[in-house]
Copies of this chain bind each other. A is one copy, B any other.
């Protein structure tokens, strides 16, 4: 059961991120470069939820927006779906460590 990530609207303070799978050529075979035991992943924000509620009910917006290039821990997030060259992850806003300068 796959979910075209771009059809989804994440809720509350969740974020959907697209990570491009880099590809290595071995002979004629294109091998997806599985992320070596790296600590981090890079990706682009596809969509974000409204944000989370503070204790008194006001909304605290997500700290990133669609289009931001971001860094997150390798073992964080749930894989939503995959396409030929990309994986789509759902993460909480607080799991996004940093964004790259534009």
Contact surface of A with B, Cβ cutoff 8 Å: 1, 3, 7-12, 14, 16, 35-36, 38-40, 42, 49-50, 53-60, 63-64, 71, 73, 78-80, 90, 94, 96-101
Q: How many copies does the complex hold?
A: 7
Verify B53–A56 contact, CB threshold 8 A: no
Return chain B residues, CB-CB under 8 Å to A10.
Answer: 97-98
Verify A8–B78 contact, CB threshold 8 A: no
Return chain B residues, CB-CB under 8 Å to A98.
Answer: 8-11, 14, 16, 90
- Apart from A1-B42, A39-B78, A73-B78, 16 more pairs, CB < 8 Å: A1-B35, A3-B42, A8-B99, A9-B101, A10-B97, A11-B64, A12-B63, A14-B98, A39-B79, A40-B80, A50-B63, A54-B55, A54-B56, A55-B56, A56-B56, A56-B58
